[in-house]
Amino acid sequence: MGRAGPRCLSPVPWHPKDPMAALQPVRGTHDLLPDAARAHRAVEQRAFDVARRFGFGEIVTPIFEFTEVFKRTLGDTSDIVTKEMYTFEDRGGESLTLRPEGTAAIVRAFISGGLAQQVPVKAFYRGPMFRYERPQKGRQRQFHQVGIEILGVEGPAADVEVITCGYHILEALGLGGTVTVEVNTLGDLESRAVYREALVAYLKGRQGELSEDSLARLERNPMRILDSKDEGDRAVVADAPILADHLNDTSRDFFARVRDGLSALNIPVEISPRLVRGLDYYTHTAFEFTTTALGAQGTVLAGGRYDGLVKQMGGPPTPGVGWAAGVERLSMLMTDPPPAPRPIAMVPAGAEADALALPLTDRLRRAGFAVDLGYSGNMGKRMKRANKVNARAAVILGDEELAAGEATVRDLDSGEQTRVRLNAVERALDRFR
């Protein structure tokens, strides 16, 4: 006999302290009701349409990965790993984590999918991410991102392209004039090693002012202290050495070529010497698109070059550069959110008309029209529904129309109406598409 399966257990009754709480979204999550869902989908689709013009193809990864994927990339001491990840053990005893960000998952797919033989790989992704953090405007525990990655290109042309693509996407969303593009260089490994020594020497001189988290990072990953949100740490970091003062010629040349490329494409940028990435696999370019329209949390798109990440995850040495953007924040800023589509209202009167309306509605939908078919009610009630759904036009099937084998097509904006043969309804509605 085969191995016995698990016993079927009786369901355990659940009695929450506040029964109504169970009918609310979990803190840090939210429903995307129709208006919000339309804006959300528009951000994703416009981003993909622009990215596709730059040659990016979509990669879809699972929403959970082995926990090691994120521990190995984000670092055991990072806030995301130590405080924010949703990690659980599945029934097979594996430690899994809901993805807190997209780059590690794309790189994992690059390695496991054998894409190293196809470089350069230009990937676009979108979907939900999960972090346990304090919910605030534009930042939730389940949130959504769009992002792009270029894997396999060493030169600054890739950095220029991903920043330009991001700028074009924000322009497509109507945000081109509302954001600031901040860029900096992190230098190559040699430059970072020199800078690390200068930074550690400075921080040790003021370690009594550092937070507990930053003290733990002082020897292991001091550059992460530059990312600290602690006010005391920020005061210390304000006087820290600047990485730009420790660059070698190779790093200076790389950054100059990035700036020249962006200038040639009329991408306005500001040099931000304090903009850093704390993990060791980041090199050269770091950048953020920021806005003041959302209060203190002003970053809507951020990224950089991560030449050491693929190797760190167990793949072949492969340079990479990319960014991610928050969909919720972009949808809140979008200047022209898409309006609700205006359907055609099917308005039959009587049982005979109801029977005819059903196949006619199906025919129009197959022809590409959005059609709202009221389920019951007299002519007056159905016309009220047509107004409620903001219909653009109505197809009226009354006794006179049925007797003549016709329908009345009414423009609900102008009130103009005309009688047409039933086989000509599609042509009469073409102007309302």
Domain boundaries, the chain: 22-188+248-333, 344-432
pTM of the model: 0.86
Strand 320-326 vs strand 270-271: parallel, antiparallel, or unpaired?
Answer: unpaired
Distances (CA, A) of 399 to 321, 423, 426: 66, 17, 21
User: Which is it for strands 270-271 and 283-290: parallel, antiparallel or unpaired?
Assistant: unpaired
Distance CA(85)–CA(27), nearest Å, equals 15
Name the band, by pLDDT with cuts 50, 70 and 90, for residue 76. Answer: low
* Look-up of token digits 């730009």: 244
pLDDT: is 254 or 81 the higher one?
Answer: 254
Sign of the CA dihedral running 216, 221, 222, 224: negative
Residue scoring higher pLDDT (431 or 336): 431
Please tell me the distance from the alpha carbon of residue 405 to that of residue 419, in angstroms, as a whole number: 10
Q: What is the CATH number of domain 344-432?
A: 3.40.50.800
Report the first-to-last Cα separation within the chain, whole angstroms: 63
Least confident of 1-10, 86-95, 113-122, 127-136: 1-10
What digits encode the pLDDT tens for the residues 157-193?
A: 999 999 999 999 999 998 888 888 999 999 998 998 8
Q: What is the mean pLDDT of the segment spanning 393-412?
A: 95
Q: Residue 3: what pLDDT?
A: 46
| CATH classification (class only), 22-188+248-333 | alpha beta
Q: Locate 323 and state its tokens.
A: 């960014």
- The response to whether 102 counts as a known ligand-binding position is yes
Q: Across 56-70, 169-183, 219-233, which has the greatest mean pLDDT? A: 56-70
Q: Spell out the residues 6+ positions from residue 251 whose beta carbon is closer than 8 angstroms to its own.
A: 185, 187, 188, 190, 191, 284
Q: How far is Cα 184 from Cα 159, in angstroms, rounded to an integer?
A: 12
Mean of pLDDT over the chain: 89
161 annotated ligand binder? no
**Pick from 41-55, 256-270, 293-307, 334-348: least confident:** 293-307
Q: How do beta strands 393-397 and 344-348 pair? A: parallel
CA distance 287 to 322: 10
Residue 277 assigned to a binding site = yes
Is residue 86 marked as binding?
Answer: no
Sequence letter at residue 150: I
Under the banding of pLDDT at 50, 70 and 90, the label for residue 281 is confident
DSSP 40-67: HHHHHHHHHHHHHHTT-EE----SEEEH
Look at residue 15 and tell me whether its pLDDT is greater than 80.
no
Q: What residues are paired with 130 via a beta bridge? A: 142
Read off the pLDDT of residues 360-374 as tens digits, 9 standing for 90 and up: 999 999 999 999 998
Q: What are the structure tokens assigned to 293, written together?
A: 């329209």
